[in-house]
Structure 1
Amino acid sequence: MICCLNPDCPNPLNPNGKKLCQTCSTPLVSLLRNRFRVIRVLSDEGGFGRTYLSEDTDKLNEHCVIKQLAPKFQGTWSQKKAMELFADEAKRLQELGEHPQIPTLLAYFEQDNCLYLVQQFINGQNLLKELQQRKTYSSGEIKAILLDLLPILKFIHDRGVIHRDIKPENIIRRKGDGRLSLIDFGSSKQLTARVQNKSGTSIGSHGYSPIEQIRDGKAYPASDLFSIGATCFHLITGTSPFQLWMEYGYGWVTNWRQYLRKPLSAELDIVLDKLLRKDIQQRYQSADEVIIDLAQKPTLALPPAGKSSAKIPATQAPYLPIRYTILRALILLSALMLLFGFGESWYQQYRRIYNSLSSRLNHQNNSGNGEAVFGQLPKISLANISLVKTLQGHENSVSSVVISPDGQTIASSGNGTIKLWNLATGKEISSLNGHFQQINVVVISPDGKTLVSGSDDNTIKIWNLATGRQIRTLTGHSDAVHALVITPDGKTLVSGSDDSTIKIWNLATGRQIRTLMGHTFWVRSVAISSDGATLASGSYDKTIKLWNMSKGYSILTLGENSQTVTSVVISPDGKILASASRDRTIKLWNLATGDLMRTLAGHTNTVTSVAISPDGKILASASRDRTIKLWNLATGEEILTLAGHTNTVTSVAFSPDGKTLVSGSEDNTIKIWRISD
């Protein structure tokens, strides 16, 4: 199809081969600037042009967004102002596009009396659409949104730019990693600029923009902070600030709490109240101030016995010997209850209490010497770990890495391409092309013969690893495929998708066996126990589900994650499930009972991927903080941190002998680390 570029055309799509639009007779342009193919209209800009979804033919038809400025009223003040703002937006994107959460400017040009701005396409949905689907957000989720957005504001404010139009529609949650991107800098301006109009020109959205911006046409960093507060208010309450502004003006900000559906955490209540102050002088003045208030750690109300009354952070709570007394009392009580015939049901209740208390007490000491409740667990000492090679070849982010069972080959995925590498030499063996969008995940069968890939194009492809030949394509998912795992016997493939389903396939024939439904949001990770009996799935609905593989029914749902689950892995002995989350922690679960054993904390940003060494002793975690951490799986003790990547580490994988760790990153590289005892 060819899209007509007349902004007034009511039906712009035309069949290929047409020279004139069949609706308005405007000459059709197959490629803008001999490079960009316009696919369809994304939005109408109220008579000044349109925004289009397009393809960049210079980048393997990668999607991009084209904004068109085609003002009708030539020579008017409105046309001049529109052109100024359009040029300003191009300049802002050129200056700010280096930030990974701001769209990159690809081109800016004039053609056929229209101006065009081409920018990176952010694959995801905006927060308004997300709100319409989800209906509610918790205090923890709003805090996570703030902590994701505030560093972007700090970045633009430090460069003398304010956005002026922050609202849910201009914030997109990316499908690839769940992070937020800030878009639409058409209203942004330099702090020193002034709108050239006698009465001032209000640029922004009523309800979301503060009074100084709407009334006087002036905007400051504190103005953007009001807008982010109004955005969070909308997400929490489901009530549009625009509707409140239409009815009450700025009166609603003084009693915003009356619209809450449930109370907020005390911390978020204070922050949101200060963000929404009508008087700019009473508002937060910088993003840093908000971040500091959100980062305040809770304190214990009572000091430890024999110490001063000064409050001590909960994360630094001292070792509590009384835990042994409590556990011994529980054991004695359980014996008495069983002795006097209270039966098995009471014992099951006791076990749940016991396991919960034990795991909590252990968790308090994770940052200490790694001591367990009933004895000293082994420490791990790594004599040497070194970065031996950095592989460069991907043009964009590396989304997934995996090592073949024979330990000779690395497979990595990125933007439309799979690359195979010799692990020993670091040399690229070949590139596999077949997907036409981002490839999110690759796995290799236990016999080392088959490679499987999942993509944003909603398909799964199966490849002959030795020849690089594509064997077949599996279709059935209605959205991007982000998770793949193959059963230990090599017969069955499991896939997880952004369509919220899990599908089970016969790997040899490609036949779909069944679909597992139960998650309410994107399924981003799957893992199978070593006996092939249990499937674990992690989702952005904040739950982990355990499934019976042979029957396809849900066994248990683990829902204690405070944020979305990004990765799951099962230990080789089938006893421990490890899950990673956007709350920056790794949780270890008893796979048999579903009890939370301990929480590992140490990363300073989202944990993106986890892997366990073949001997079951070491857990590796990758993070948006650009590091990899190695942990003693038995004790939860952090062994060491590997730094070297310059952007988010997306994936980690151990070699079959456990002596090599491979990591992939958004810095477009793969790193090979060697481990020795």
Structure 2
Amino acid sequence: MLCCLNPACQNPSVHDSTKYCPDCGAPLLILRNRYCPAKSLGGGGFAKTYLAEDVDKLREKCVIKQFAPQVQGTAGLQKATELFEQEARRLQQLGEHPQIPTLLAYFQEDSRLYLVQQFIDGQNLLDELQQQGTFSEGKIRDLLQDLLNILQVVHQQKVIHRDIKPENIIQRGDGKIVLIDFGASKQLTQTIVATQGTMIGSFGYAPLEQMQGGEAYPAGDLYGLGATCFHLLSGIHPWELWKRQGYGWVANWRENLQQPVSQELGQILDKLLHEDYQQRYGSAQEVLQALNPPPKPVPPTQPVIITPPSSPSVVPPTQLAISTPAPSPVPPTVPIQAQAIPAASIKPSAKTKIATKNLLTQNPKLTKRLLVGAAITLLGLVGSQIYGYVRYQGVLSNSFSERTLPVHSSLVRSVAISPDGKTLVSGGYKTIKLWNLETGKEIRTLTGHSGNVSSVAISPDGKTLVSGSEDKTIKLWNLETGKEIRTLTRDSDLVSSVTISPDGKTLVSGSADNNIKLWNLETGEEISTLTGHSDKVSSVAISPDGKTLVSGSYDKTIKLWNLETKKEIPTLTKKHSDSVSSVAISPDGKTLASSADNTIKLWNLLTGEKIHTFTGHSDLVSSVAISPDGKTLISGSWDKTIKLWNLETGKEIRTLAGHSDKVSSVTISPDGKTLVSGSWDETVKLWQLE
């Protein structure tokens, strides 16, 4: 089975039992009696590409690139020949890098030049974008991490790729990134200026200096990397913006995103896309350092000291307080670090031990009201832990205990708890994990999605799990068995949010196609499509009485819908100053919480009047939830913290800091005792509220 290698052949498909192509009459060749061309992969510029088999390696797959220049004139042909030979030299120079195709052979046969290289089994990122939709920030960060490590090696070899774009980046089956097509690459020298007017690279991805004068620097590859990330985040080819705005598009690239990115990633892309190459990062290593900043130093924890009174039998318990180095009370807004202090780090004196022991012996009733964990630590019992306490508005309040589940190999996008409070569900990249909430042990892992699981919800009867994904599908699962029930396909765009009505009959999904769909949960049939938003629907919630649907959108609005009539309630439509990321409704159905940017707004759901605005987070508030008793609002933020707010007064209660990366989702158990948070640090944390 051979494919015709005649570059002019209009139908070079596979032929059998013949020596000549029946379409063009050209002889069918086995190159060097070893490489059998099996399928045309297309091509452009000055080379055509074929999938082939290496007879000498048990018919192992390889790729043949044939020099087939589509240029006119001697100068153009000479330049194309140089570039083709350069690609072979670059591949040979870069050697056996596991994320760059290996050069297998370079030769001339039948008056044509051929290059044979390693076959990479995978999909290029442009195809992935077209099939699965725009990339999440987590995927972009993974891409940057992988590709920057490759570019670091390439640039150390003094090679400039000059054509970084999604088509030239392949994701292998093992998830690793491979950089291909070094046909435009150039050796870095002291002065790198090609012939004036020479354009090497691809429109939209090539930087200004490369477009105008053919100059090539490592910073040029970094620009192409930034343009690639923008394309994958927005779905918009940078050349489309360049045709309208020139290089001015790099100043307002954020306006074209379907979902906002963190301040940290935004600043990195700003510098990658800078018009002046001297203002970009100087090397791939510099970008990696910005992408992975060293952790901020944690100030040493002050030991917690309990001062026993001189006459414990007559001192009321309210006077037994925790002494701190500062005489002034701690302001209510100071974050409380949920961090355990090892007992071994606290070393009380002999007198303190004796005084504490007497206190415990003489006053059993008083002792019961003391901080038992701290008292035990002061007695020197090895292995005990004590949690820091602070005085909050005159009340002695302890910070929450914390448990971490290292769950996914990628960021955790969504969490949910079953109505009986026994099962925790977390969604990550392509996987969903089920956990025993009490023991923290994994029950099972569900696979089937081909993209990030952006939202999960559990039916009121606890039998059905629903997952929405960036792969544009919604899946229904039997929560008890883990078996997939059915898949609901959204043809147009990624699913960003799912929720289920209180009666368990209706599934609601929000999508990046700006629409909301209502589904019959039992049959999987689509009931209705609600239109009205002008941008991605990021979050949906249903009131406890099942009559009102709330949707938040990147168009900066919150819309309310009558679920019975499927009509919008326009008098209750509210606007934020930025994209709305999350909405939640209180258990009594009277209060709506919505988050946008780094603020949260509280609304009267019946009248539409604003009640409070919560400020305190320093980055995007990605998720909000309200406690079952309706008294506390919980917010998770990209500033890596979780905040608790008094829903009635609008005051901040405390801050929980424990995640090492952005908090993406928060939820509370039905009994109100356990707070669960999912994060980009690939973990789920359980916080005990009581």
> What TM-score, normalized by structure 2, do the two folds share?
0.56
1:291-370 counterparts in 2 under 5 A? none
1:523 & 1:11 partners in 2: Cα distance? 46
Q: 1:491 aligns with which of 505, 520, 539?
A: 505
Matched, 1:654 2:653: no
1:219-258 counterparts in 2 under 5 A? 219=217, 221=219, 241=242
CA 630–81 in structure 1, closer or farther in 2 if over 3 Å, else same: farther
Q: 2:462 aligns with which of 423, 442, 448?
A: 448
Counterpart code for 2:67:
K
Matched, 1:509 2:523: yes
1:596 & 1:497 partners in 2: Cα distance? 26
Q: Which residue number corresponds to residue 425 of structure 1?
A: 439
3-state SS, counterpart of residue 78 of structure 1:
helix
Q: Is the 8 A contact 2:86 2:185 kept in 1?
A: no
3-state SS, counterpart of residue 77 of structure 1:
helix
Largest Rg, 1 or 2: 2
CA 213–670 in structure 1, closer or farther in 2 if over 3 Å, else same: same
Counterpart code for 2:584:
V
Q: CA deviation at 1:435?
A: 4.0
Counterpart code for 1:384:
S
Matched, 1:481 2:503: no
Unaligned stretches of 5+ residues in structure 1: 15-19, 29-37, 53-65, 95-104, 131-143, 173-180, 246-251, 258-267, 292-365, 370-377
Q: CA deviation at 1:431?
A: 2.7
Q: Is the 8 A contact 2:162 2:185 kept in 1?
A: no
Counterpart code for 2:673:
K
Report which stretch shifted further, 508-517 or 192-201.
192-201
Q: Which residue number corresponds to residue 113 of structure 1?
A: 116
Unaligned stretches of 5+ residues in structure 2: 15-19, 31-38, 52-60, 70-79, 106-114, 170-176, 253-265, 288-331, 336-392
Q: 1:80 aligns with which of 77, 85, 88?
A: 85
Count how many residue pairs are aligned between Structure 1 and Structure 2. Answer: 506
2:507 & 2:447 partners in 1: Cα distance? 21
Q: Which residue number corresponds to residue 70 of structure 1?
A: 65
Q: Which residue number corresponds to residue 309 of structure 1?
A: none
1:204-603 counterparts in 2 under 5 A? 204=201, 209-211=207-209, 214-215=212-213, 217-219=215-217, 221=219, 241=242, 383-392=398-407, 394-475=408-489, 477-556=491-570, 558=573, 560-581=575-596, 583-603=597-617
CA 398–480 in structure 1, closer or farther in 2 if over 3 Å, else same: same
2:189 & 2:395 partners in 1: Cα distance? 59
3-state SS, counterpart of residue 81 of structure 1:
helix
Counterpart code for 1:488:
P
Counterpart code for 2:398:
A
CA 577–239 in structure 1, closer or farther in 2 if over 3 Å, else same: same
Q: CA deviation at 1:198?
A: 6.9
CA 21–286 in structure 1, closer or farther in 2 if over 3 Å, else same: same
1:32-71 counterparts in 2 under 5 A? 44-48=43-47, 70-71=65-66
Q: CA deviation at 1:76?
A: 3.9
Q: Is the 8 A contact 2:62 2:117 kept in 1?
A: no
CA 608–185 in structure 1, closer or farther in 2 if over 3 Å, else same: farther
Q: Which residue number corresponds to residue 77 of structure 2?
A: none
Q: CA deviation at 1:190?
A: 11
CA 628–76 in structure 1, closer or farther in 2 if over 3 Å, else same: same
Q: CA-atom RMSD, angstroms?
A: 6.1
Counterpart code for 1:46:
G
2:623 & 2:12 partners in 1: Cα distance? 44
CA 433–216 in structure 1, closer or farther in 2 if over 3 Å, else same: closer
Q: Which residue number corresponds to residue 345 of structure 1?
A: none
1:539 & 1:522 partners in 2: Cα distance? 6
Q: Which residue number corresponds to residue 57 of structure 1?
A: none
1:632 & 1:91 partners in 2: Cα distance? 59
CA 222–429 in structure 1, closer or farther in 2 if over 3 Å, else same: closer
CA 421–23 in structure 1, closer or farther in 2 if over 3 Å, else same: farther
CA 219–444 in structure 1, closer or farther in 2 if over 3 Å, else same: same
Q: Which residue number corresponds to residue 677 of structure 2?
A: 663
Q: CA deviation at 1:443?
A: 0.9
CA 459–204 in structure 1, closer or farther in 2 if over 3 Å, else same: closer
Q: Is the 8 A contact 1:538 1:568 kept in 2?
A: yes
Q: Is the 8 A contact 2:48 2:67 kept in 1?
A: no
Q: CA deviation at 1:113?
A: 1.6
1:568 & 1:163 partners in 2: Cα distance? 47
Q: CA deviation at 1:485?
A: 0.8
CA 477–524 in structure 1, closer or farther in 2 if over 3 Å, else same: farther
> What TM-score, normalized by structure 1, do the two folds share?
0.57
